[in-house]
Amino acid sequence: MVSVMARVAMLFDAFRCTGCRGCQVACKQWNDLPAEVTHNTGSYQNPPRVSSDTWLLMQFREVEREDGGLTWAFRRYACMHCLEPACVSACPVGALYKTEEGPVLHHNNRCIGCRYCMLACPFEVPTFQWDKGLFEGPQIKKCDFCVDRLSAGMEPACVQTCPAGALMFGDRDELIAVAEARIQEHPERYVNHIYGKDEAGGTSLLYISPVPFQQLGMPKLGSAPIQKDAEDIMQKATPAVLVGMLVGLSGLYWVVKRRQEMMGKNGGSGTQGDREA
């Protein structure tokens, strides 16, 4: 059991990962996420990207070995739950927020669908419900670290399911110590770096890997938080978005008002031309 009062984190060991995707299935099952219709893209990776129905994706990458051959490298692609999240800074309505325990969560009832968080996130994680219409209340979706399980003293579903021991969950400082010990014990096995320890101010999802992190598709980031850039995005984009929304709503109001006037002139039935318009 893990106390939710600790600053929790997750350690992903790419050397131990076998690409079984058990974590991916467990995430869908626990969060009641539907399967997606996909097509063969020439890779074992499926689906091709995270979405509002796929919060955790195992990415498959072929990398070249020192002997010239190829080998698989796997990346756990999901929300990094940054210590100083850019998505939270970019959200103009406070729909995203960082908890003291670690997870970055989302107030669905506050979200206005502006998608600033998608622009701000350096890991390109938050996803939008593109299949829902504007008036259906589309929302941003992403991994929530199984916060409901944490409150019950359980590990995230993906961690509990992993058969290879590639995922660990616990106190962030303790996991950093575990990662450092593995690297020191097997320097021939791991890149001498813990990704997420310092990147973008630090994250709650930590990686150790047998291949350079850029080969896993991880962005190269400094140790400074990206909150300032996110705030700049929000400040510059907000006026344009609000103007666009006002113009769109004004146009919609004019159309509805005009139709109501035409219906009134024609006794509530409307002309044939009006119905076809």
Q: What is the pLDDT of residues 98-115, one digit of tens each?
A: 998 889 999 988 988 899
How far is Cα 180 from Cα 259, in angstroms, rounded to an integer? Answer: 68
Domain count, the chain: 2
Q: Are residues 165 and 249 in the same domain?
A: no
Mean pLDDT, residues 73-82 taken together: 96
Q: Are residues 69 and 12 in the same domain?
A: yes
Residue 22 lies in a domain: yes
Least confident range of 76-80, 81-85, 246-250, 259-263: 246-250
Q: Are residues 153 and 64 in the same domain?
A: yes
Residue 254 lies in a domain: yes
- Domain region containing 269: 238-276
Residue 2 lies in a domain: no
Q: Are residues 147 and 219 in the same domain?
A: yes
Mean pLDDT, residues 50-78 taken together: 91
Q: Model's pTM, two decimal places?
A: 0.79
Residue 100 lies in a domain: no
Is the pLDDT assigned to residue 5 strictly greater than 80? no
- Decide if 208 contacts 15 (C-beta within 8 A): yes
Place 268 in a pLDDT band, splitting at 50, 70 and 90.
very low
Place 266 in a pLDDT band, splitting at 50, 70 and 90.
low
Q: Are residues 205 and 255 in the same domain?
A: no
Is the pLDDT assigned to residue 31 strictly greater than 60? yes
Q: Are residues 153 and 268 in the same domain?
A: no
Residue 217 pLDDT: 94
Q: Are residues 209 and 182 in the same domain?
A: yes
Q: Which long-range contacts does 42-51 make (Cβ < 8 Å, 24+ apart)?
A: 44/19, 50/77, 50/78, 50/125, 50/127, 50/142, 51/127, 51/141
Mean pLDDT, residues 47-57 taken together: 94
Q: Are residues 179 and 214 in the same domain?
A: yes
Structure confidence by residue, pLDDT tens digits, 164-190 = 999 999 999 999 999 999 999 999 999
How far is Cα 128 from Cα 146, in angstroms, rounded to an integer? Answer: 19
Q: What is the CATH classification number for the domain harbouring 47?
A: 3.30.70.20
DSSP secondary structure code for residue 128 in this structure = E
Residue 94 lies in a domain: no
Residue 118 lies in a domain: no
Mean pLDDT, residues 46-51 taken together: 92
Residue 182 pLDDT: 98
Residue 229 pLDDT: 53
Identify the top-confidence range among 139-148, 177-186, 266-275. Answer: 177-186
